[in-house]
Structure 1
Amino acid sequence: MVLGRELKLTERSPEMCSNTKFDYNSGSERVLVNIANYFVQTGHEVTLIVRDSGAAYSLEDQVKFCVLDISNTYLKKVKQYVTWKINKTVNNMEKQQPFDLILSNYQSSSPLKIIYGSNVHYFVHNDYGADYLKLCKLSSANAQKFKRRIRSFYQNRHIIAVSENVLTSIEQTLKCQPASSAVIFNPFDFNEIREKSKEHILNIPAEAFILHVAKYGETKRFDVLLEAFSKLNNKTIKLVLLTENHPDLKNLIKIHAVQDRVLVAGFQTNPYAWMRNAQVVVLSSDSEGLPSVLIESLICGTKIVSTNFGKSVNAIFPAAMTKFIVEKANTLALSQAIDIALQEQVTINEEEILKFSTSEVLKKYLALVSLR
């Protein structure tokens, strides 16, 4: 059983359970859908409960689908009411057949009180410790309020962190004590990613380019990326940004005088083809949980360069590429690493990235069932 937060259904009415499509509003929703699909593909029964109905990505026919019946717009925003509604829905289902495992993306200080089952695990996708430390610099009161709120979500609950640095952030930085904790990477379908990476997309540049994939925001450090790009020895290579053309981004590009070498291509439904055709994929973030873009790039056979955003960076980078991990906010080190990566031939060892494959990740989820 999988509990969702804001996956949205449009093409079918809520009571329809086959050929359902969703909008991936965030990475956590995409992961939830992937896990549901992987479970049914290996013969398990899955029910997916979501709060809202809305739009556009595929869910396997065999996944049973339920949208919470909350017609009142105000009540949809009241977490205590939504939690009560989830509890009622799940407990009614469990009267028919108890679930072996419940996975929840839903954040609320009111815990899910499942009458017939106790094996409820809560996902932690974000590096909340990094957010807390940033707030400490701005407002101690707001930082402590944030800390209390996050602790209320996860204290004394079973949690699944997507990386070691996310777990460390919860347990050490925020001093939260979960009932149990496990690190389980997000699952990646290697075959699907590689097939999509071979698609022909007309607006992918024919000339050599570096790729960066991220929504524009402070933690992604586009300022660091663009300054490092302006310092490259290689002055002919292009930089492609798969993000929306934010006004601040336009200004940064102008400040670093790289307008003629930067393409802001917007968000793409198939980023894998861009990854496969890039010479290098770069990440310049200050903090990350488990950045999918780096893993997907490796699956596509492309070299990666990144700032040292946390413990999970070492879990992602193959041994031959660890020299491409640089200090955060160090634009000179980042530019030098990119220059070297552009020149060197590096073979990606498949064995080093198999831990992110669906089959390996699924084993860890099934192990949670046995802990019941």
Structure 2
Amino acid sequence: MPHVLLVIDQLASGGAPRSVLKLTRALLDSHIRVSLISLSDRVGLPIPEGAEWHVVPFTSANRWEKLRRYQLHARRFDDFLARQETPFDLVVANLHQAHQVVSRSTLAKQAWYCIRSDPWQELLSNKRGWRRGIKRHKVRRLYDSKRIIALSRTNLESLERIGSQPQATRVIPNVLQVENIHRLMQARIAEPELQDTDFCLFVGRLNFRQKRLDRLLEGYLASGVDLPLVLIGDGEDERLQQEVIRLGLQDRVRALGGRNNPYPYMRRASVLLLSSDYEGLPNVLLESLACDTPVVSTDCLSGPRDILVGELARGLVPLEDTQAFGRAIRDITDHPPTIRHEHIAPYLPQTVAAAYRELME
């Protein structure tokens, strides 16, 4: 049986750890042995049954160790590997710390490095002048001549923009657990008044910096649709209320807070809206399509352009064009596109597992 090692910074919270665990389940279901290594003792998410998992943490004891933390952590990682009895047919490092540690380890040349966000946005966008130049050099040194997995084509384009020259590249998206989504979306929503009402929907963190809820509200207002806007998520509630009042939308916008199961809302919605400046690969778009609900999204970094193809591209709008966002909401609600199996087929567990199996071959 082929053996895959997945290395990640932590398994406590966040979209990337959850995506790696979904990948783990898909690989196990495809009769591939999986070992998980967390580089932190933060492990709170449920590990799929059948996976082997280990914790190989490192904590700096002083400033000198902090400066050399990746190299020292790699030594501890190598010590752990030396005690393992079976080799790995495939090694995948996920997230930045894992990239830094594995690239200094004995697995450096064997490993694939999975980039789970837009590298330019995550690593360079907050740097200016000479600081950006130094950071660009560090990123190139990390990824040059490496084997790179990206969740979308636009992630790879961003790496090229930095100037990195990988040895090999593959685009393999996150796993979409369609069967689980179809089961969960059958539940009744908690608000009786929404059971038989069409509405627009946002699902995600109530965050203005990345998610640009100001753009969401302004685009919704510009659409002129008479459907209410429902928001599911936690975050900047006070600022959200201020924006709603500023735009005079108090009677049209409902913030429901977080929901453990948003899929019944996706199934009931007329359209799902995403107004972000950037994403990694926006799973919420795929989940909405799995619920047979169309999407309007900004053409942001990165992922929407890869997901919204064919007729679905009618819902893709320029990043800064609020009026176009509004027109797309009106167009999609008046004339919903047909969501076909091929739109989500690349993200099915068996498809993603097959792509990882190809890397072993």
After superposition, the Cα gap between the structure-2 partners of 1:342 and 1:34, relative to the gap in structure 1 and judged at 3 Å, is same
Which residue of 2 is the match for residue 68 of structure 1?
56
1:261 corresponds to 2:249:
no
What is the aligned length? Answer: 349
What SS is found at the alignment partner of 2:83? helix
After superposition, the Cα gap between the structure-2 partners of 1:152 and 1:201, relative to the gap in structure 1 and judged at 3 Å, is farther
Deviation by residue 1:219-246 (Cα, 9 ceiling, x = unmatched): 3221111111122322342332423244
Which residue of 1 is the match for residue 159 of structure 2?
170
Which residue of 1 is the match for residue 210 of structure 2?
219
Deviation by residue 1:111-135 (Cα, 9 ceiling, x = unmatched): 4455478431111011122456744
1: CA distance, partners of 2:302 / 2:56: 37
Deviation by residue 1:174-229 (Cα, 9 ceiling, x = unmatched): 00111211111111111111111112231473332211123214232211111111
Deviation by residue 1:14-38 (Cα, 9 ceiling, x = unmatched): xxxxxxxxxxx22211111111111
Give the alignment's TM-score, normalised by structure 1: 0.85
CA deviation after TM superposition for structure 1 residue 350, in Å: 0.8
1:182 corresponds to 2:186:
no
1: CA distance, partners of 2:74 / 2:342: 42
Q: What 5-or-longer segments of structure 1 have no aligned partner? A: 9-24
Amino acid at match of 1:308: D
Amino acid at match of 1:7: L
1:126 corresponds to 2:114:
no
Deviation by residue 1:229-279 (Cα, 9 ceiling, x = unmatched): 122322342332423244333322222121222222233222222211211
Give the alignment's TM-score, normalised by structure 2: 0.87
1: CA distance, partners of 2:51 / 2:303: 31
CA deviation after TM superposition for structure 1 residue 69, in Å: 5.2
Amino acid at match of 1:48: L
Moved more, 260-269 or 28-37: 260-269
Q: In structure 2, which of residues 2, 6, 10 is the aligned counterpart of residue 6 of structure 1?
A: 10
Amino acid at match of 1:3: V
1:231 corresponds to 2:222:
yes
Tell me, yes or no, if the aligned pair for 1:155 and 1:178 is still in contact at 8 Å: yes
2: CA distance, partners of 1:344 / 1:242: 28
Q: What 5-or-longer segments of structure 2 have no aligned partner? A: none
Tell me, yes or no, if the aligned pair for 2:208 and 2:214 is still in contact at 8 Å: no
2: CA distance, partners of 1:132 / 1:81: 23
What SS is found at the alignment partner of 2:281? coil
**Alignment identity in percent?**
25
Tell me, yes or no, if the aligned pair for 1:128 and 1:166 is still in contact at 8 Å: yes
1: CA distance, partners of 2:353 / 2:103: 24
Deviation by residue 1:119-175 (Cα, 9 ceiling, x = unmatched): 311110111224567446xx223322332343343222211010000001012x100
What SS is found at the alignment partner of 1:329? coil
Which residue of 1 is the match for residue 316 of structure 2?
325
Q: In structure 1, which of residues 304, 307, 316 is the aligned counterpart of residue 298 of structure 2?
A: 307
1: CA distance, partners of 2:20 / 2:283: 14
What is the RMSD computed on CA atoms of the aligned residues? 2.6
Q: In structure 2, which of residues 126, 140, 145 is the aligned counterpart of residue 156 of structure 1?
A: 145
Tell me, yes or no, if the aligned pair for 2:147 and 2:166 is still in contact at 8 Å: yes
2: CA distance, partners of 1:344 / 1:6: 43
Deviation by residue 1:272-315 (Cα, 9 ceiling, x = unmatched): 22211211001112223321111111011101111111574332
